[in-house]
């Protein structure tokens, strides 16, 4: 069902009788979704890191449910954000690369909630409007994908000197640590509940701890690079691979962000909103930070794909829960809609995991599916790949050959690649079958891959011509004989 058809049906279904029933129904929960950029799970205290200081995240996890295996289906910024909003894999929502624009025809969770009477707001880094990242103004209307309140920029990564926009192209300067500025705006939004008592869906997309790594001075002083314990799989394979100094600055940024999450939590308490507000904290992807001698993201290793998944909802979710259930970006939208008593649109491809958080069901999907569609020289990504992860194994392959296979239980730091080993042939075959099934079920194909990517332009290079993704997919459908099978 196309976006406008779905939304029209939603409006039509709300007859006077049904609206009367809704008035009498229990109040739907608020949703506060906070996602710092490039925050890996391995660098959060409640995920087992004893050196980084994240008391507020740890407290949230203790007050709700900690999804230990939360993963990014396409671990790079724009595709990840689009998947979270649409509940659809990247090849379905069209956001197969950075710096593309999310199609206005897509149905987002913000649009669904707005039609159901929610006050929607987006604060921070958007990165779904395509083209140049600066100055970063996204005009009011359908390109905001259902968010009514707006205080955002497209993308800057200037953590101490940036700008954002409201409903005009006049920039509003930010001359302090941006996570603090976004939190200021978010608390102002929360205070508006005194006048506007509709339930709200507020997304706060913080830029840090994304590189360039940095934080206010008081946080940098907390971490001595010489005293940090590097992950066992860390190695300095090239000059640009992050070392202890960068890891210390990354940790400092995380602690600075954690303090802002603490401010948001206190605001919910002070405004009497905490009991009826779902707080979900996650990220768009992780950061290799030198593990396996690599940097940044787009990789099938745990440091790239594993992200926080902390959900608190005091009225309904029992505190102190920890679950190994696989929870991936594609599941976020249907899970949150389910908590609100709203049936997810049929076009969403994720799984509703609200019953897991509510203790009504154990377990969820038996595996998670991963996609990267092309190479990127900036972080050493060799080529497009597909992958599948279960509770025990991670397997990824390129179009023409297997790449990696790890036993995550026996080898949590992924030191031994079992791909191609005779003793692991049965496991590899089973994971290959599982991956093929995922590709078939989701409608994925290796023909979605590209050979060269031009970032910041929103264009792909194939067969001697530059295309936008939509132009290319249309062209490829008309020329199947030229595409790899």
Cβ-based neighbours of 455, under 8 Å, separated by 6 or more: 97, 98, 99, 376, 378
Which one, of 101, 89, 202, lies nearest residue 152 by Cα? 202
Count CB neighbours of 16 within 10 A: 7
Q: How far is residue 389's CA from residue 396's CA, in Å, rounded to a whole number?
A: 9
Token pair belonging to 271: 């405004």
- Pick from 296, 211, 229, 260: which is nearest to 35 by CA? 260
Residue entry with tokens 């899970």? 335
**Which sign does the torsion angle of CA 472, 477, 479, 481 carry?**
positive
Q: Largest Cα–Cα distance of the chain, in whole Å?
A: 67
Q: What residues are labeled active site? A: 77, 127
Contact (CB, 8 A) for 150 and 165: yes
CB 280 within 8 A of CB 33: yes
| CA-angle at 201, arms to 76 and 258, nearest 5° | 60
Instruction: Tell me which DSSP letter residue 196 carries.
Output: -
Nearest CA to 71 out of 403, 308, 386, 289 is that of: 308
CA dihedral over 39, 388, 352, 127, signed as positive or negative: positive
Pairing mode of beta strands 402-407, 393-397: antiparallel
CA 296 from chain centre, in angstroms, equals: 15
Structure tokens belonging to residue 393: 């194994």
């Amino acid at each position: 069902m196309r976006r406008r058809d779905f939304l029209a049906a939603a409006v039509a279904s709300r007859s006077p009788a049904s609206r009367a029933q809704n008035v009498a129904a229990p109040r739907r929960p608020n949703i506060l979704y906070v996602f710092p950029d490039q925050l890996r799970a391995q660098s959060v205290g409640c995920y087992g890191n004893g050196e980084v200081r994240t008391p507020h995240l740890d407290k949230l996890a203790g007050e709700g449910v900690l999804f230990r295996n939360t993963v990014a289906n396409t671990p790079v910024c724009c595709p990840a954000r689009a998947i979270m909003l649409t509940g659809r894999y990247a090849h379905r929502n069209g956001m197969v690369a950075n710096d593309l624009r999310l199609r206005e025809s897509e149905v987002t969770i913000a649009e669904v909630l707005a039609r159901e009477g929610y006050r929607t707001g987006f604060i921070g880094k958007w990165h779904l409007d395509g083209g140049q990242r600066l100055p970063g103004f996204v005009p009011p209307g359908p390109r905001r994908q259902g968010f009514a309140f707006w205080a955002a920029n497209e993308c800057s990564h200037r953590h101490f000197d940036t700008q954002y926009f409201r409903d005009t192209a006049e920039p509003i300067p930010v001359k302090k640590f941006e996570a603090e500025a976004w939190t200021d705006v978010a608390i102002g939004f929360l205070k508006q509940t005194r006048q506007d008592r509709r339930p709200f869906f507020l997304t706060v997309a913080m830029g840090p701890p994304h590189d360039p790594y940095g934080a206010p001075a008081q946080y940098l002083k907390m971490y001595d690079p010489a005293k940090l314990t590097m992950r066992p799989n860390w190695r300095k394979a090239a000059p640009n691979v992050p070392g202890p100094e960068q890891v210390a600055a990354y940790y400092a940024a995380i602690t600075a962000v954690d303090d802002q999450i603490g401010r948001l939590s206190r605001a919910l308490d002070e405004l009497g909103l905490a009991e009826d507000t779902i707080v979900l904290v996650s990220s768009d992807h992780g950061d290799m930070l030198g593990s396996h001698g690599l940097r940044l993201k787009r990789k099938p290793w745990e440091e790239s794909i594993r992200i926080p998944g902390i959900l608190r909802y005091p009225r309904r979710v029992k505190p102190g829960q920890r679950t190994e259930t696989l929870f991936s970006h594609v599941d976020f939208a249907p899970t949150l809609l389910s908590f609100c008593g709203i049936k997810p649109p049929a076009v969403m491809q994720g799984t509703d995991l609200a019953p897991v958080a509510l203790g009504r069901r154990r377990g969820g999907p038996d595996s998670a599916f991963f996609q990267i569609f092309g190479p990127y020289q900036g972080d050493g990504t060799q080529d497009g790949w597909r992958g599948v992860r279960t509770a025990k194994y991670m397997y990824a392959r390129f179009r023409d050959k297997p790449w990696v296979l790890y036993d995550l239980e026996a080898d949590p730091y992924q030191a031994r690649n079992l791909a191609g080993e005779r003793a692991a042939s049965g496991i590899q075959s089973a994971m290959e079958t599982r991956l093929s099934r995922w590709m078939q079920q989701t409608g994925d194909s290796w023909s979605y891959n590209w050979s060269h990517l031009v970032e910041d332009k929103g264009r792909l290079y194939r067969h001697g011509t530059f295309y936008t993704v939509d132009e290319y997919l249309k062209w490829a459908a008309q020329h199947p004989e030229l595409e790899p099978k």
